[in-house]
Structure formats: C-alpha cells, structure tokens
Amino acid sequence: MCETSFATVETQVGTLTVVVSPRGVRWIALPSDDAERAIRETGARPGPIGPVRGQLEEYFAGTRTSFDAPLDLEGLPPFRTKVLGALQHVPFGEVTTYKGLAVDVDNPGAVRAVGTACARNPLPLLIPCHRVVRSDGHLGRYRGGEDMKRFLLALEGHLE
C-alpha cells in the first residue's frame, strides 16, 4: 500500500470504516463515529486495507484474541500514546480500570485524562479501550455506546 486507503468492514456491531496508511492502521471509525471525517482528515481513498480486514472478521467470529496488524499512531500527543500503549497490554477477556490504567502510565492522578485518552482512541478494537471499566464495577462510557461495549466484553467472555 503506497497511499492512505479506506474500506468498510461489516460486523455484528455495524459497519466499521478502517483507514490504513503506508505505516499501518490509522483509524477505525465505529458506527457511531463520523466516518466521513476520518476519511477527509486522513486523505484516504477507497482501497485495500491489508491484513486488518481478516483480523477483524476473525475477532468477530470468535477465533482471534489479539491483533498484529501494524498500527500508525503518528502525531498523537505523548500522554495519549502512552495510555494507548498501556491499553495494548490488557489481555483478551480481562478488564482494567481507568484508575489502574492511570497507575500503569505512572500518573495515578490522571484518571480523567486516561478516560479522555480512551474516548479519543483512533483504533478501538485493535487498542482495546472497551476493556476499561470504572473502579466501582460499572462499565463506564464507550464511544460506540454501552450496548457495543457489552457486546465486545461478552464476545471476549468477560460478560455473560
């Protein structure tokens, strides 16, 4: 792939729009997101998206527990990059809390900032922000909505 391209992937939670740059997956727009904005801001054109399509299909089929498609996080603020890096270490089927994630990035007082970093995650699913819950056990917010978060956690065996 020599230019930034996009394609859609149909899933049980709706249509995902996946943008891939020459460096890796750049953006995944959830059904609740403004996919046109993602395409416009990245200058993507319709085209191949490489191995991420198959990996997402396998994930939703219940046969994949991790992703190894290359990611493109270039240009993100350092704190957000650090939070997203820590999120990549939350295993399939497990959850962490916003507070736990703040501790993981050596900034225990930054619980709200961690929440904001999760909300602005350009690569949901690949960087599993749906695996972050509130300390009181409630699911917490998710950009794709509560139903989608519940579905993803159930798919991973965390919820019944």
Phi, psi of 110 (to 5 degrees): -100, 40
Catalytic residue among 18, 19, 29, 129: 129
Beta bridge partners of 18: 7, 28
- Report which residue type is found at 144: G
> What 3-state DSSP class applies to 68?
coil
* DSSP-based helix, strand, coil % in the chain, nearest 5: 35, 20, 45
Decide if 129 is catalytic: yes
Distance CA 5, CA 47 (A): 5
Which residues are marked as active site?
A: 129
